[in-house]
Amino acid sequence: MFSRVPGERSVVVVLTGGEQDSAESGAAWQLAERIPDVTRRLDPKGDEAARFGATTSGEVFLYGRNGALEFEGGVTAARGHEGPSAGGIAVEAALNGQPHLRSTPVFGCSLQ
C-alpha cells in the first residue's frame, strides 16, 4: 500500500505481549521491517497500546500531520487474512487526501 502512496510518512508498528525474542522473530515483526519509513517497537507491557486506546490486536490508528485521528480500525477483511479490505482502502484513501471511512471493524484478539 505504501508504495502506491506518494509523500512523506512515519509508521510505527507496536507489538505487544509474548517474549521479546519470539516477537522479534515473528511474521508481523518481519513484515513490518519491509514497510518503507517504518519504526518498529516492542511493547511487552502494553504501554503504547494503552496510550492509543488500542483494545484489539491488529488495531490501526492513522493520524494526520495536524495530529487529528483520521482512521481507527482493522485493515484486514477477517482475522489472519491478507488482501483487500475496507480498512486498507480507507487508509490508502486517507493517505491520498481522499474521502474515506473513519473506522472499520477489527478482527483480532483482545489486548485486555
Predicted confidence (pLDDT) at residue 105 exceeds the cutoff of 80: yes
What per-residue confidence (pLDDT) applies to 101? Answer: 93
What per-residue confidence (pLDDT) applies to 30? Answer: 78
Alpha helices, DSSP H, located in the chain: 20-25, 27-33, 47-52, 86-95
> 64 or 54: whose pLDDT is higher?
54
| Cα(62)–Cα(27) distance, integer angstroms | 22
Per-residue b or e along 42-51, where b marks 16 or more CB atoms closer than 10 Å to that residue's CB: bbeeeeebee
Give the start-to-end residue ranges of the domains of the chain. Answer: 10-51, 55-107
Mean of the per-residue pLDDT values for the chain?
78
Average pLDDT score over residue span 77-100: 84
pTM of the model: 0.76
Q: Residue 20's pLDDT band (boundaries 50, 70, 90)?
A: low
Q: Which three cell numbers stand for residue 72?
A: 481507527
